[in-house]
Chain A
Amino acid sequence: MNKLIENSIKKDMLINVGPQHPSTHGVLRLILTLEGEIIKDTKPVIGYLHRGKEKLAESRTYFQYLPMVDRVDYLSGFFYQAALCYAAESIGEIKVPKRAEYIRLITMEFNRIASHLLWLGSFLLDLGATSPLFYVFREREKIITLFEELTGQRMMYNFYTYGGVKKDFPEGWIAKAIDLCKEMPKLFDEYEAIITKNPIVLERTQKTGILSKELGLNYGITGPNIRASGVNLDLRKSNTYSVYNETDFKTCLAQSGDSYARYIVRVQEMRESLKIVEQALKQIPGGTPEKLKVKKVNCNCNREECEYCGFDSKLAEKKINPMTFKLPIGEATAMIESARGIIACYLVSDGTAKPYRIKWRTPSFSAVQILPELIKNSPYSDLMPIFGSLDVVLPEVDR
């Protein structure tokens, strides 16, 4: 009898969170061992959204695969298309017109803001505040309306193509975007006024889920999560893909590495992204829509400005036929800084119309891996805020 009581007192509670749980941000399943309300052990179970995105690529042509990568991360589809396009472009040595690069940059940065906004809403929902979710959706809607006007889609854009983007900005788009850039900082001020110094938010997020520099680097954490721990890792600065080197912005850093630092970094990043977009909208070079078409470097026209502006006077080569588009034999890795961290696309081409192998490196995957380390010995109530602060998108984890 005594032994029975002893066992029942000592027994930890095994609790299964997800995949059908109101706040696991999708279909993450966590098997927690609780001692009272203290989390002793966590096992994340992933794979509920596995669609085989990598394997699917091997049986599809490059153009057939292109619309599928948007779905890897439904909140920031532009980044995945960009990574695939940059990988293919570096194998095929396809030169991208500068205007197309600017359009990519503008859409990517807007996408980053939209993604961070949604993160902000869901993070506060995890903390128990319901109202911010509606406010961020109001603002996100403005960005998404712009995207819809540009690409015809609200979430799965399928807008980039190998060698550029599919369409030029429609008339009046730039003016609308500039207006939005002017309007947004005031709205961010509104959020910050109610959230940043809210004592309950501070109490809940400061000193919880502390991610140390070393731990983060060992686990391969990237993006705002590692920048909140004081690691200056921003591919937009160091890799200078696209035309980031022509814009002036600063990398947002925080030192403490807790949930609050991750919040601060993301809010500042939204402001920085707006700055980038605003500059890019002013600097964007002109040109006809034809400019955006695919053009190879070795077009033998011997004009100096041919590099990407060659079609100012004449049309470039014929638009590539999606059915016959091939890349030369080779392999390339394209790394870009997405809203959630570094995404890398490793592409191997065997010279046929289909990729030989595509490997995605997704930031959320690392973030889920580190979750057990972050929530160990913290109360059960802190599970969702810490998990939410990492900004994990489950389709991205499972691919």
Chain B
Amino acid sequence: MYDLYAKILNILRLPEIIAQLTWAVIPFACIAALMVFVVIFLVLMERKFLAWLTVRKGPNRVGPNGFLQTFADAIKLLFKEDIMSEETNKLLFTIAPVIAFAPVMIIYGLMPFTEHLIAINIAVGLFLVFALSSLTTVGIVLAGWSSNNKYSLLGGMRSAAQAISYEIPLVIAVLSIAVIAGSLNLKEIVTAQSGGLFSWNIFPAFIGFIVLFICSIAEVNRVPFDLPEAESELVSGYNTEYSGMKFALFFLAEYAALFIMSVLISTLFLGGYLPPFNDYLSIILLDNIIKNQAIMDILIHLEQGFWLVAKTYTLLFLIIWIRGTLPRLRADQLMGFSWKFLLPLAFINLILTSIIKLAIQGY
């Protein structure tokens, strides 16, 4: 790929140093574009589904059937005045949204969306994902503290408390996947699940799937764990004082994290980009028709993307459904739930999967 890129630049008579410098930027430009695109339609999807769940019509003015509503909202947010109150800590107040946003963006680069579509394929991918996703909390705490607003402060503190209680069952639930796959590389974890529906990790580690699903909802601060921005108590929680693009960054980070968490769960438990059948559909259906290997590769590539997106959006729909149904937990109940219920479950899951792994493989 790089050679092709260098050739194109060469035709344009640009020195090769530019190719070397810009090559690293391209994946991130793609990731950023993907992220914004995903978030815009995820927000639209959420609003439409919620409207459907609550006997409303949802956005239906901008564009056909309200299709462009989120674009309009995004443009509005871009043009809004950036208000900062006198007594905020200006530096931290400005940095906080970036700290909340940047890690999520890097996680996008770590995800194997298809077999080849993975920007950073490193050996400790899984570990890095969780290291980065917990960084978002730092941004939220900073935002809450630097706003110089008591509601924001409470929201930020709650976020920290929530992160502490949820990271542990989350990581232990994921540990079972590392045990099964024998690797921390996300691509290898996916490859280890090949062989159809029943070789997905959800079967040996179903409890882990449940724990991870609940924890990831808490991780992205969604109902019923949306304590940091509990509207009925904390006005808008940590982002009360934010407006304009800074608020948009928080918003973007939240929804981007929601999407990427669903991608992660699909990758870890639902076979990632692999199909639920023994082989790819395109191979099963079109093997005799299409003889050209290159076209077949492209088809498989697209199919992998399709499967991942389908799994991800099923999970996203579940999360939106939960949001439409459940009330919010209280901070202390949330922590009790996490420490007394999820953590033991995660441990049970780890032990069970280890036993299964031993039984199948021996030492």
Interface residues of A (CB under 8 A from B): 13, 15, 21-23, 37, 124-131, 133-135, 138, 194, 198, 200-201, 203-204, 379-384
Contacts and interface: CB of A to CB of B under 8 A. Distances in A.
B232 A126 contact: yes
Contact of B327 (A21, A135, A204, A380): A204
A13 B150 CA distance: 8
Contacts of B235: 21-22
B85 to A, nearest CB: 16
Contacts of A21: 235
Given A204-B333, A379-B332, A129 B327 contact: yes
Interface in B317-363: 323-333
A129 B233 CA distance: 13
Contact of B331 (A13, A37, A130, A198): A37
Nearest to B330: A381
Contact size range, B: 20 to 34
B149 to A, nearest CB: 10
B333 A203 contact: yes
A128 B325 contact: no
A198 B325 CA distance: 10
Top 6 closest pairs, chain A to chain B, by CB: A128-B328, A127-B327, A134-B54, A129-B327, A23-B232, A381-B330
A379 B327 contact: no
Given A130-B54, A200-B329, A203-B329, A125 B232 contact: yes
A379 B232 contact: no
Given A21-B235, A200-B327, A204-B327, A131 B332 contact: no
B55 A135 contact: yes
B324 A131 contact: yes
Interface string B144-176: 000000110010000000000000000000000
Contact of A128 (B53, B150, B154, B223): B223
Contacts of B327: 124, 127-129, 198, 200-201, 204
B231 interface: yes
Residue with the greatest number of chain A CB neighbours at <10 A, chosen from B150, B232, B326: B232
Nearest to A382: B330
B329 A129 contact: no
Nearest to A21: B235
B56 interface: yes
Nearest to A133: B54
Contacts of A22: 231-232, 235
B219 interface: no
Contacts of A138: 55
Given A130-B324, A131-B50, 20 more contacts: A13-B150, A23-B231, A37-B331, A124-B327, A125-B232, A127-B327, A128-B223, A128-B226, A128-B231, A129-B326, A130-B54, A131-B54, A134-B54, A134-B55, A138-B55, A200-B224, A200-B329, A203-B329, A380-B154, A381-B330
B55 A128 contact: no
B230 interface: yes
Contacts of A383: 233
Residue with the greatest number of chain A CB neighbours at <10 A, chosen from B224, B325, B330, B332: B330
Contacts of A380: 154, 233
Nearest to A199: B326
B326 A198 contact: yes
A125 B226 CA distance: 13
Contacts of A203: 329-330, 333
Given A134-B54, A135-B55, A379 B330 contact: yes
Contacts of B324: 130-131
Contacts of B329: 200, 203-204
A15 B230 CA distance: 16
A392 to B, nearest CB: 15
A23 B325 CA distance: 19
Contacts of B332: 379
Contact of A135 (B54, B323, B331): B54
Contacts of A204: 327-330, 333
Interface string B299-330: 00000000000000000000000011111111
A107 B151 CA distance: 42
B100 interface: no
Contacts of B333: 203-204
B227 interface: yes
Contacts of B231: 22-23, 128
Contact of B224 (A37, A128, A133): A128
Contacts of A127: 232, 327-328
Interface in B32-71: 50, 53-56
A127 B150 CA distance: 21
Contact of B56 (A15, A23, A134): A134
A37 B54 contact: no
Nearest to B234: A380
A13 B231 CA distance: 20
Residue with the greatest number of chain B CB neighbours at <10 A, chosen from A37, A194, A379: A37
Contacts of B50: 130-131
B283 to A, nearest CB: 44
13 contacts: A15-B150, A15-B151, A21-B235, A22-B232, A23-B233, A37-B331, A129-B326, A131-B324, A133-B54, A135-B55, A198-B326, A200-B326, A200-B329
B325 A194 contact: yes
Contacts of A37: 154, 331
A381 B331 contact: yes
Nearest to B153: A13
A380 B226 CA distance: 15
Contacts of B53: 131
Residue with the greatest number of chain B CB neighbours at <10 A, chosen from A13, A201, A203, A382: A203
Interface in B87-138: none
Contacts of A135: 54-55
A153 to B, nearest CB: 25
Contacts of A384: 232-233
B54 A128 contact: no
Contact of B325 (A131, A134, A379): A131
